Amino acid sequence: MNATLIAALWRQRLTSPIRLVLLGSLMGMPLLAVVFMHGAGLSALGDSQGAVLVLGAGMIGQDVSSGVLQLLFARPVRRPDYVVSRWLGVAIAASAVALVQLGLALALMAARDSLPGAQDVFLYAAGRVIESFGLAAVLALFSSLIPGFGDLALYFLFTLSASVVHWVGQVKQWPWLDRAGSEILASLQPKLDLAQLVHASPMPWFPIVSYASTVTLCLALAIVAVNRKELSYASG
Amino acid sequence: MPPAEPRAGDSTRRSPTVLLIAALVLLAARVATGLYEERHPPSLPDLVRWRPIDAAVAEARQTRKPLLYDFTADWCAPCQTMKRDLFADREAAARIERMFVPVRVLDRRQEEGRNPAEVDSLQRRFHIESFPTLVVVPAAGGDSTVLVGYQGRQAALQQLAEAQVRSMMPLRFRPRAGSAPPR
């Protein structure tokens, strides 16, 4: 982990007006739902997918296509450190966005005297943070494979293909295809439903192991992909 | 001119050996736990307080809440997914309790050869052909809303909220179609 690289990523993201506008809308819309929908609970805030995609798009690919990576690796920065720092930078930023949004939603709910229980709030907040770290790892892998913002295209292409597989499995009533589609979809958006994990008996290990497996595999493959890149001033 | 890449001994590359081994071990554990939990699924408590079929109509009239019928079967995989995902979720269950008088209508034909009479009667009345099917019946009578299949918690909650709003509208504003008032 390299704190300078993480801070540089945040500076880069905070100076992009498009990303800020998108983030503002992603944060604001669910808050409007909390304001105007009577009885809207924490689920009205949605998930972290939008924030991670906005903050993480091109997290490595943009540096490859702009030539920053050549300059960066001329300094004493190791490639695995670079990948992990980009992943952490995006995940921490998306988690912060989720927690700020949650704080605002709780303030609105408190004003209406409809605050959810402390355990529910904690499980929801932890779930959003876990989701941010999971999806950021997937995006890091895609971003290491393709320059520019191609990671977004790759992410949507994979999601669409997995949805089609899942749908065909359901329509044809082929459980193996249905399961394959849902597993790929779950791997593309790794998250944990902590409320369910807490209430289930015995505690299911499959979702926890799946999440950890997806995150480690994505990071390992992203590092391998960045290691394999031949960077020179002439390569672009 | 500075070199584009550092010298071989000063390489920026490091093989993520530990991470790769961890990823492979976790991948194997994922397959193993997936297979195990498919055979021994962990049980999740159903947090919705399902009402008996015969008492529910009276409660719906008294509370003026619409009835929510959950047509389901033990052998139906999407029904079990919905049970784990929706009815075992504390917030979703609380919303369902707030909006509806919930009634579970369990099909037992595959296990026992036939259904209790009231289950058969409800299945015929709402033309139930597949599971899971959720039916929202306004307390004041009028058209019911039928939701077939399960497309995830968010989608289901949104559809249920829309159905509840429709069912609370005065009769003259509701579109005409389909079925009968609660009996």
Q: Alpha-carbon distance A26 to A24, whole Å?
A: 6
- Other CB atoms closer than 10 Å to residue A81's CB: what's the count? 16
Q: How confident is the model at residue B170 (pLDDT cuts 50, 70, 90)?
A: low
HSE of B142, CA atoms in CB hemisphere, 13 A: 19
- Binary contact (A209, B77; C-beta < 8 A): no
- Mean pLDDT across the stretch B110-115? 85
Convert the pLDDT of each residue in A81-134 to its tens digit.
999 999 999 999 999 999 999 999 999 888 887 788 888 889 889 999 999 999
Is pTM beyond 0.80 here? Answer: no
- Cβ burial, residue A186 (10 Å; 0-12/13-18/19+): middle
Considering only residues B183 and B42, tell me which one the structure prediction assigns the higher pLDDT.
B42
Confidence of residue A1 (pLDDT cuts 50, 70, 90): confident
Q: Identify which has the larger pLDDT, B55 or A142.
A: A142
Burial of A66 (0-12, 13-18, 19+ CB in 10 A): middle
Q: Which two tokens stand for residue B83?
A: 């049970």
| Phi, psi (rounded to 5 degrees) for A146 | -140, 135
Provide, as residue numbers in chain B, all residues whose Cβ is less than 8 Å from the Cβ of A43. Answer: 91-92, 153-154, 157
Residue of B3, B13, B89 with shortest CB distance to A195: B89
If you average pLDDT over residues B55-78, what whole number do you get? Answer: 88
Q: Chain B window 63-82: which residues touch A at a Cβ cutoff of 8 Å?
A: 77
pLDDT at B24 over 90: yes
Is pLDDT of A236 > 80? no
Q: Find the range with the poorest average confidence among A52-61, A147-156, B111-120, B165-174.
A: B165-174
The single-letter DSSP state of residue B84 is I
Digit-coded pLDDT (tens) for A183-213: 899 899 999 988 778 777 788 899 999 999 9
Structure tokens at A175: 């459980």
Q: Which residues of B fall within a CB distance of 8 Å from A227?
A: 13-15
Band of residue B173 on the pLDDT scale cut at 50, 70, 90 = low
Question: Is A29:A112 a contact under the CB 8 Å cutoff?
Answer: no
Can you tell me the mean pLDDT for B19-40? 91
| Residues from chain B contacting residue A203 (CB–CB below 8 Å) | 42
pLDDT at B10: 64
CA A199 to chain CA centroid, Å, is 25
- Of the listed ranges A10-14, A57-61, B101-105, B154-158, the least confidently predicted one is B154-158
Record: contact B14-A70, CB cut-off 8 A: no
- Report CB contact under 8 Å: B4, A79: no
Model confidence pLDDT, tens digit, residues A27-62: 888 888 888 776 667 777 888 899 999 999 999 998
Residue A79 backbone dihedrals phi, psi, to 5 degrees: -60, -45
Residues of B in contact with A45 (CB under 8 A): none
Which residue blocks in chain B are alpha helix, DSSP H? 17-39, 53-63, 77-82, 90-99, 109-112, 117-125, 153-168
User: What ipTM was predicted for this assembly?
Assistant: 0.83
**Is any Cβ of chain A less than 8 angstroms from the Cβ of B29?**
yes
For residue B154, give every residue at least 6 positions away whose Cβ sits within 8 Å of its Cβ, in sequence order, or none: A43, A46
B27 neighbourhood in chain A, CB within 8 Å: 213, 217
| Tens-place pLDDT, residues A160-188 | 999 999 888 877 777 788 888 888 998 99
Given this model, what pLDDT does residue A40 score? 65
Work out the pLDDT band at A219, boundaries 50, 70, 90. Answer: very high
